[in-house]
Amino acid sequence: MGSCKWGRAMVGDHGRHKSSNERERSMLSVKKLLTVAATLASITSCGTTPKPKPKTAKPKTANTELTQNQAEPRAEVVLSLPAGWRKRADGPQMVIEGPDPKLHVVIVASTEPDLSKAIASAWTKVEPAFTKAPKDVIKPPSARPPFEASIVAKYRLEADQVLHQATAHRYKRLSYVLLVRGPMGEVKKRAAQLREVLGSVRPKGSQPPKVTAKDAKTPTADELRALATFIEQARTTFEVPGVEVALVQDGKQLMATAGGFVDHGKKKRRVTTKTHMMIGSMTKSLTGLMIAKLVAAKKLSWDTPATELYKRFKLKRPDQTKAVQLAHLLCACTGVPRRDLPMLFEAEKHTPKTVLRDLAQLEFLTKLGETFQYSNQLVAAAGYIVATQVDGSGDLNARYGKLLRKHLLKPLAMNDTFVSMRQVKRKRRYALPHSETIDGKIVPLSLREERFVEPYAPAGAVWSTVDDFSKLLMALTAKRPAKGLPPPAQLAELWKERVKVFAHTTYGLGWMTRQYKGTPVHGHGGGTMGFRSYFAYIPAARAGYVILTNGSRGNALLAVVRSKIEAMLFGQQDKSTQKMAFFRKRIGAKLKSLGDEVGEAVPADRLKTLAGTYDGGELGQLRIRAQKGKAIFDTGAMKVAFLPLKKAPKKESYVIVEPPLTGISFWVVDKGGKPELHFEPNNVHYVAKRK
């Protein structure tokens, strides 16, 4: 009985240099590249099985085969394989390779019930030289069905920039271990496809639970009161300054509740269901709805080339420029990678016109439709290009806002939803955004910090309240078709799969569709400097909900409240309380880890060397200087402190420790006697050179 190991495909390019903290901390980095996913493909024997005695042999069953072959159990699975990926058997393991085989997943089956031990044993079989202990082991409160238990082991990223990660699941009497290995550059490029593989694996013959419209129910008054209590409990648990939530069913608002304060520091004015908050990328869904109505009215077509709609539309490569149609601008499927740093660092210099002009710097990282790549710039371009076609001349932001008001907001009577921050200020009902320092202190931000998104308004600049946003959900859930919505055929276009985000989540045209136990949930999340939001429409339950928060920890609240609402709507087991405890523990562990990894100060002599002005290209002009004993990173509009990282794979790495840029990291390389600053939050490598 031998051990099967990775072959030559394991050795090769290590990708670009990058700090592990870039991946772990940056609020702009690809979030949770490898979420708690799933495991296993068909596993064949790597050794030999002793022959039974002819006269005493009993008929083989799955149980007797498992007993006789404890060391190398056979297992069969079903999984989703993205285009360009391959799977092959390698002895008792299954190997799943990406388009670049240096990125792959090896699946190992084991009878070991202890998942941590099963992972350690799997590494020994597959890569004996890899003996590192995990730096973090995540044990979620519930496993993805049909699995009964799961853990994820994460390992420190070293200078070679090769990711190692392991996921283990338990199902009946087998543990399924998925070992991930690959260059970080390829991991980030193929993150969505990798999530699809990991999240789709399940043992052959197993059936995850499903719900349908027959399971949907109307919440009782007691359930709604319990939900309101839980929302406030989650708000205080996660230290979210303020929250507002509305639940809609059958065209009516069942519940609207709010808690907390508009300003965490002063705690004078309370949040209500009429408090304005930024909805971030939920705006993309509104932009999609507006364009869908114009398509239905024959004023536009989804398949019209972008160059026909806007003659100056231009990407970096002419062939890619010609290939892009209107729908591609909204589908997150072009292959253009996320580029948020220029949005932040050059915020005060961008306008809608420069956003359209700067499209010429963009190029596809992957083929059209091949994998999920999120782009705020392209969605903004969609809204502005449509505005140039439909609404005369003038300021593009104003024209987009006018178009959204005329074709969507006004017909739905959403009179308290605005694109303009100026209009929001006039209402004097807005909440302040909140972020946190690297050590977890919650701090309010000025509204000025949120202006970075205004040049990209169609992608994320809208403000609303849960009372007003409920009107969209009431229209969607009404028993009779609402006049303010696109016709059903166009709604279907918005929700149709264009690309996979996770195994059971797809992206359409400004809308994301995920599966709750087999039933579609359409919606979108949003996040800005200091607001977090989410809305969902669930056709099978004839229901929808919207959650708005004014704190950067809102994501944890969104996750647990979403879980509770959806379990309630379908009468399913509610594990939201366990999830809340899990997330609270994870936040605490993360803060402790950061405390161990962040240094106390940049050495004075090194800060003197780093001080100066840097040309960051797309990032604009950057400055590093000393101020009252602190090392300051200065973009012009934002001036924040940074500290060294003690345990980074690059020799000299730093992390920004103050809002609004908390968590963004960079590393320094000396070239020709001058320091260079390197940033790589996603798949774009930015270099700022000392002048």
Q: pLDDT of 129-169, one tens digit each?
A: 999 999 999 999 999 999 999 999 999 888 778 999 999 99
Whether the full predicted model's pTM is greater than 0.95, yes or no, is: no
| CB-neighbour burial class of residue 51 (10 A; exposed 0-12, middle 13-18, buried 19+) | exposed
In the chain, the largest separation of any two C-alpha atoms, in whole Å, equals 91
pLDDT score, position 42: 29
Domain(s) labelled CATH 3.40.710.10 in the chain stretch across 213-579
d(CA 610, CA 159): 22
- Predicted confidence (pLDDT) per residue in 420-439, tens digit: 999 999 999 999 999 999 99
Name the E strands within 336-458. Answer: 434-436, 442-444
Could you identify the residue written with the tokens 């068909």?
A: 42
User: Inter-axis angle of helices 376-390 and 282-296, to 10 degrees?
Assistant: 30
Q: Which of 69-73, 288-292, 629-633 shows the lowest per-residue confidence on average (mean pLDDT)?
A: 69-73
**Residue 375's closest CA among 307, 426, 328?**
328
Domain(s) labelled CATH 2.40.128 in the chain stretch across 604-690
Residue ranges of alpha helices (H) inside 461-597 are 466-477, 488-495, 554-570, 576-597
- Predicted confidence (pLDDT) per residue in 385-404, tens digit: 999 998 777 899 999 999 99
d(CA 65, CA 3): 20
Give the chain's mean pLDDT: 89
Domain 604-690: which CATH class? mainly beta
pLDDT score, position 91: 81
Residue ranges of alpha helices (H) inside 478-574 are 488-495, 554-570
The dihedral built from the CA positions of residue 244, 565, 195 and 152, taken in this order, carries a sign that is positive
**Residue 300, pLDDT above cutoff 80:** yes
- Predicted confidence (pLDDT) per residue in 559-613, tens digit: 999 999 999 999 999 999 999 999 999 999 989 888 889 999 999 999 999 999 9
The set of residues, in sequence order, having a beta carbon less than 8 Å from that of 588 and lying 6+ positions away, is none
β-bridge pairing 174-183 and 104-110: antiparallel
Q: DSSP of 360-394, one letter per residue?
A: GG---SS-TTTS----HHHHHHHHHHHHHHHS-SS
**Residue 382's closest CA among 507, 286, 488?**
286
**Residue 7, pLDDT above cutoff 80:** no
Backbone phi and psi for residue 193, each to the nearest 5 degrees, phi listed first: -65, -40
Cis peptide before 183 (omega within 30 of 0): no
The dihedral built from the CA positions of residue 336, 337, 342 and 343, taken in this order, carries a sign that is positive
CATH number for the domain whose boundaries are 8-203: 3.40.1000
Domain(s) labelled CATH 3.40.1000 in the chain stretch across 8-203
Banded model confidence at residue 53, pLDDT cuts 50, 70, 90 = very low
pLDDT score, position 265: 86
Show the tokens assigned to 543.
């229901």
The set of residues, in sequence order, having a beta carbon less than 8 Å from that of 683 and lying 6+ positions away, is 185, 188, 189, 337, 338, 365
Which CATH number applies to 213-579: 3.90.25.10, 3.10.20.740, 2.40.128.20, 3.40.710.10?
3.40.710.10
Residue 600 is given by DSSP the state S
CA angle 516, 115, 186 (to 5 degrees): 65
**CB–CB of 245/466 below 8 Å?**
yes
**SS3 state at 58:** coil
**Residue 59, pLDDT above cutoff 90:** no
d(CA 372, CA 450): 26
- Predicted confidence (pLDDT) per residue in 196-223, tens digit: 999 999 998 898 899 999 999 999 999 9
Q: How many CB atoms lie within 10 A of CB 283?
A: 31
